[in-house]
Amino acid sequence: VHIIEFEAYGELNQGFGKKPSPSNQTIFSEKKLNETSEKYSLSVYPNPSKYGNPIKLAIQLQKNESAIVEVFDINGKRVANKEFDLKKGFNEVEMPTNYFSVGMLIVKVDIQGEVISKKIFLE
């Protein structure tokens, strides 16, 4: 999974032949999201999931950590964002699906900068 982040600064200039100034350049970076991690393991189920039933995330940790869980639709729009305080060992958390559109979703979990993403299908 590749998510491209970009930021635009300044005003849009439609003129041709003009040199871009630092105030109107577009800056972007590409980040590859992992599907594995050395710090923790992640399972997302059931897959496929039924609309209205929660998506469950099983997270195995080596120590107590805080996790940020984000869910994105196929267009890259974030449709959910929640933070969880997790304990060392096995943790199971749920994300409700009644606010999502059916189709492919990307579940992204960030624990102390270590990011894992998983695809899940909502029907």
Percent share of the chain, pLDDT over 90: 66
With cut-offs at 50, 70 and 90, classify the pLDDT of residue 112. very high
Collect all residues with Cβ–Cβ distance below 8 Å to 45 and sequence separation of at least 6.
55, 56, 58
Domains of the chain: 33-122 (2.60.40.2550)
| 3-class SS of residue 113 | coil
Residue-wise pLDDT tens digits, 40-53: 899 999 999 999 99
Q: How far is CA 53 from CA 28, 49, 79, 99, in A?
A: 36, 7, 16, 11
